[in-house]
Amino acid sequence: MKIRTLGLQFRQGISGLWRNRIMSLVAVGSVTAVLLVLGLSLLTIININSITAYIESSVEIKAFLEEDLDTAQVETIGAKIEQMEGVREVEFETKETALEKYKEQLGDNSSLLEGLEGENNPFPSSYIVRVDDPNTIGAIADEIAVFEGVEEVQYGKDVVERLLNSTHLIRVVGTVLICILAFISIFIISNTIKLTVVARRREISIMKYIGATDGFIRLPFIIEGLLLGIIGAALASGLVAVVYNYFFVAMNSSFEGVFVMLSGYFAPFAETLYRTSFILLAVGIVIGVTGSAISLRKFLNV
Amino acid sequence: MISINNVSKIYPNGTVALNGINIEIHKGEFVFFVGSSGAGKSTLVKMLLKEENPTSGSISVDGVVINSLKRRQIPYYRRKLGVVFQDFRLLPDKTVAENIAFAMHVVEASRREIARQVPRVLSVVGLGDKANVFPGQLSGGEQQRVSLARAIVNNPSLLIADEPTGNLDPDTAWEIMKLLKEINQRGTTIIMATHARDIVNYMRQRVVTLERGRIVRDQERGGYGIED
């Protein structure tokens, strides 16, 4: 197809939008609404992921060792854990360090622990194990628990499982929601395009007699759908930025304690918005083109 | 140029529209298809336009068997044809010149070619001064002349006219016939489906008469029907 023809087709697509401007407005509105929900869901998921990723990464296994192990035995256990699949990092914590840590936690009341140094230290030495994938933490902990010389294994089982369950739920619900919304929006676009097809029915039938190829006849409608998608995506991106900004500011200024702490783990503002807008644009284009393609398949067969 | 061999058309509801039709049309001929409604004229025209396919038999145009054309080949076949309909089929929101240029855009003609051809065909049909007028402002005869101009602008070798005078009063119809004759004399083969008795009788061209899906007469310099 020649460039000049492409230009004509593009103008034809725009005139299609203008011809049905009310319906185009409705379609753009629907795409905007859908992409707004999609964008906000994405941002929610991205941020929950970002927060849970932080919490997950801070979750560790503590393997307490039996008393009376000699240095060689301790090192063997450490080496065995290190060799396990999925283990990212292993750190040895001596009885002394454990006592110091506990003292720090007690702060002003640390004097309670006086006299427990050296021979009397009741804290066991331990290995602190961090894993690559939080989902495997339970299995790895169970394996370490049966190692010889390991007294007991602890990890934040409940916290991890609850978090994993909730992110899983949000991902599933989000995906389902987005699919449903995308479907609705494709439906609305295909109906909008259908209006243009109907309005131009006469023109199309004449074009066929004159010898226009299917591609030539379809292109303006594809362009029309594309434009609907792009305009919707642009509006949605703007709205998402406004909403996210408002939310970000509100989070940072009006909540205390845990929320302020968590907001520190939000995904970076500008970069996240940039990425989200890009996704919205891509989805908007896919929705627009799919909508017009469906419409053309249904209404453009002579 | 056109060879219709033993063509039959049976519609899914069982109606036999055409039954064993054989016609040979040579380059430069002017042929009328006549017959009452339901005789099979429109079916024949639709087949030549590749809107319908024969149930059996074959049609070839310019050496190409058009029954077996693939969907994507059809547009290129249609570019060899010019078509004129009873209801003109002009775009009301485009000017006369735009309506004609539109036919050239479709075949991706260059801007220069469009600028040259549009005034040329408009003067051929005698509407040189109406280029920037909208079809709604024209009389029926003028509209049909615009549609003729559009049909010939891409220099088709075959012009198919389906009841081109059906919506026109007799005087205007004659003007259109004069134009068709002129176009024919420039070398374009013309097939015209009609039931305008006077026109057919006056023109003294080849007449193929259809009746209930069969050819009942095929005469050089013929007239309309047995009553002549």
Whether the per-residue pLDDT at B134 is higher than 90: the answer is: yes
Helix (H, G, I), strand (E, B) or coil at B28: coil
Q: Which of B48, B108, B110, B146 to mutate to test the interface with A (most CBs of A within 10 A)?
A: B108
Look at residues A162, A174, A93, A153 and name the one whose alpha carbon lies nearest to residue A134: A162
**Phi, psi for residue A123 in degrees, rounded to 5:** -75, 135
Cross-chain CB nearest to B89 (options A206, A211, A216): A206
pLDDT tens-digit readout, A248-263 = 777 666 555 445 555 5
CA quadruple B194, B196, B198, B199: dihedral sign: negative
Q: Which residue of A has its CA nearest to B89?
A: A206
Cβ contacts (< 8 Å) between A1 and chain B: which residues?
108
What is the spatial distance between Cα A58 and Cα A74, in angstroms, rounded to a whole number?
24
Look at residues B208, B146, B144 and name the one whose alpha carbon lies nearest to residue B176: B144
**Are the beta carbons of A202 and B89 separated by less than 8 Å?**
yes
Cβ contacts (< 8 Å) between B91 and chain A: which residues?
202-203, 206
B211 to chain A nearest CA, in Å? 27
Rounded mean pLDDT, A254-281: 70
Cβ contacts (< 8 Å) between B111 and chain A: which residues?
4
Cross-chain CB nearest to B91 (options A2, A203, A214): A203
Cβ within 8 Å of residue A120, ≥6 positions away: none
Give chain B's radius of gyration (CA, Å).
Answer: 18
Confidence of residue B225 (pLDDT cuts 50, 70, 90): low
- Contact (Cβ atoms closer than 8 angstroms) between residue A211 and residue B107: yes
Helix (H, G, I), strand (E, B) or coil at B114: helix
Residue with tokens 């066991």: A124
Q: What ipTM was estimated for this complex? A: 0.81
Least confident range from A46-50, A62-66, B131-135, B150-154: namely A46-50
Q: Which residue of B has its CA nearest to A9?
A: B105
pLDDT tens-digit readout, A127-139 = 888 888 777 888 8
Q: How many CB pairs under 8 A join A and B?
A: 51
3-state SS record for A160-176: HHHHHHHHHHHHHHHHH
pLDDT of residue A4: 73
Q: Is B46 on the interface with A (CB under 8 A)?
A: no
**Are the beta carbons of A210 and B78 separated by less than 8 Å?**
yes
Q: Is B75 on the interface with A (CB under 8 A)?
A: yes
What is the spatial distance between Cα B41 and Cα B213, in angstroms, rounded to a whole number?
8
pLDDT tens-digit readout, B4-14 = 999 999 999 98
Based on DSSP, count helices (H) and strands (E) in chain B, helices before strands: 7, 10
Alpha helices in A107-213 (DSSP H): 137-145, 157-199, 201-210
Rounded mean pLDDT, A176-181: 80
**Are the beta carbons of A216 and B72 separated by less than 8 Å?**
no
Which pair of tokens denotes residue B135?
Answer: 């079809």
What is the spatial distance between Cα B205 and Cα B34, in angstroms, rounded to a whole number?
12
What is the spatial distance between Cα A220 and Cα A11, in angstroms, rounded to a whole number?
8
Cβ within 8 Å of residue A26, ≥6 positions away: A188, A192
Measured at the alpha carbon of residue A264, what is the angle toward residues A154 and A171, in degrees to the nearest 5?
A: 70
Tell me, yes or no, if the pTM score tops 0.90.
no
Cβ within 8 Å of residue B107, ≥6 positions away: A210, A211, B79, B154
Q: Is B154 on the interface with A (CB under 8 A)?
A: yes
Q: Which one-letter amino acid corresponds to residue B113? A: E
A131: number of Cβ within 10 Å: 24
